[in-house]
Amino acid sequence: MDYPLHLTSQLREHLRALRKARGLTQAALGQMLGVGQARVAEIEGNPGVVSVEQLMKVLSALRASLVLRDDHTLEATASQSDAAPLSFTASANKPRKPARQSTNKAPIVDVSSPSGRSVTIRPRKGSW
């Protein structure tokens, strides 16, 4: 099932629900991740301050994945097929800054998803 997220507060609810749906306590999930129960509580309580790498590890442990969907493409497709138009958010119309090049020379970490796809992530120094 897909859970569209627009705010980190929504992520908080879904992380907790996924953990409980898997029958895991915070301590058990922490053991899978190599962290303590308190760190899992922090991640669930404020997922907006967690690195993408950490979030990917949590999702992998919960047998879930992160999917990015291009809402702009969906809106264009809907308008071409005479479907009801989708609303644009103010942020969707803002020009985006080019991505900064990473200067982090940390080793590459490979994370496998349940579907077998491999995601390469450069860990941040001092994470966890």
Reported pTM: 0.55
Residue 49 lies in a domain: yes
* Confidence at residue 75, expressed as pLDDT on a 0 to 100 scale: 61
In a domain, 69, yes or no: yes
Question: 55 with 47: CB under 8 angstroms?
Answer: yes
Q: Name the residue range of residue 5's domain.
A: 1-82
Question: Do the domain assignments include residue 87?
Answer: no
Q: Within a domain: residue 66?
A: yes
Question: Looking at the domain assignment, is residue 5 inside a domain?
Answer: yes
Half-sphere exposure of 13 (CA within 13 A, CB side): 8
pLDDT digits (tens, 9 = 90+) for 63-78: 998 888 887 766 666 6
**Which parts of 46-116 fold into alpha helices (H)?**
52-61, 71-80
Q: Give the model confidence (pLDDT) of 5-45 as tens digits.
A: 777 788 888 999 999 999 999 999 999 999 999 999 999 99
55, part of any domain: yes
In a domain, 47, yes or no: yes
Residue 54 lies in a domain: yes
* Amino acid 87: pLDDT: 45
CATH code of the domain covering residue 40: 1.10.260.40
| Number of folded domains that form the chain | 1
| Mean pLDDT, residues 49-66 taken together | 91
Distance in angstroms (rounded) separating the CA atoms of residues 126 and 124: 6
